[in-house]
Amino acid sequence: MKTKIDTLDEAKELIALMKLDHQNIWIEFDLPSFYSQIVTNLLLVRLSNWDPLEETEDALEIVKFWGSILEEHYSEILWKAWLPPVRVAILKWDARFPVQMLHFISVWKNEIPEAIWSNVILQLILPKISNTVSNWNPYTDPVRVDTWITPWIPILGRSNMSLMITQIRQMLKSSLAEWEAGDNSAFIMIEPWKDVWSGAEWDQFVMQAVVPKLALYLKNLSIPTDSVSKKTLEPIQNWVNHVPIGATNKMLIDFFFPNMLAIVRGWVRSPTV
């Protein structure tokens, strides 16, 4: 039997055979400890050029095989050989584009021991996303923040993301300071958060950041005397199901209906009527 192991394929064949056919020697001489060092070194070479995001499945079979052969040493092997390229990939990853990382997670999550997986999720991915949020600029970034934050809530947990979500809400609120209600881009940016924030958080946000802008829009609205077009009220219609009903009613009563009443009076007084 060949005793020198040069490749992972050779390691798989020899070590599996030793465990199956030589149980007494396997246990008496603590061969798992001996072989785990060999496997770790071979995996270090095999994974040295591995890109976990571009070649997600490439290393899956060769890595998870050792979970059933060197069970008690599997975590140690992963810490030394698998985790370093994963760490590098996460550090290089742009968190605003989550698709590849989400795919990586779906492929590997059931193959990695809980302690190591928690390290990947909570010590590597979570801080990376948090740092990206801190550097996010709602004024200039063309990528909507909800598209790269909300997919992580089921994975990272709402409690782990609560500070980020609060930070995003504050940043969105600040970004609306110069917003005018006639610009529909704010609705597109804000509406996806309705199902993420609590009802109280949503209501507080729209009452502070949106309703004053809508009220100003209605107050300054120039209504054509011959008709009120759908386009004229489109900014209000976009928000009507997302603003507390009392606030909507107050805006209409205070600003819209007085304008309409003035128009009706003009029609009645017109000599052409």
- Which pLDDT tens digit goes with each residue over 137-186? 999 999 999 999 999 999 999 999 999 999 999 999 999 999 999 898 99
Place of tokens 């009645």: 268
Per-residue pLDDT averaged across 64-75, rounded?
A: 93
List b or e across 117-154, with b for residues whose CB sees 16 or more CB atoms inside 10 angstroms.
bebbbeebbbebbbebbeebeeeeeeeebbebbbebee
Residue-level pLDDT at 158:
95
What is the Cβ-side half-sphere exposure of residue 227, based on CA atoms within 13 angstroms? 3
Burial of residue 81 (number of CB atoms within 10 Å: 0-12, 13-18, 19+):
buried
Question: Is residue 228 scored above 60 in pLDDT?
Answer: no
Over 216-261, what HEC string results?
A: HHHHCCCCCCCCCCCCCCHHHHHHCCCCCHHHHHHHHHHHHHHHHH
- Write the pLDDT tens digit of every residue in 100-136: 999 999 999 999 999 999 999 999 999 999 999 999 9
Q: How far apart are CA 130 and CA 124, in angstroms?
A: 10
Distance CA 169, CA 167 (A): 5
Could you please report the per-residue DSSP string of 35-81?
A: HHHHHHHHHHHHTTT--TTTSTTTTHHHHHHHHHHSGGGHHHHIIII
- What is the pLDDT, as a whole number, of residue 28? 82
pLDDT of residue 252: 80
Query: Residue 272 above 70 pLDDT?
Result: no
Give the mean model confidence (pLDDT) for residues 12-33. 86
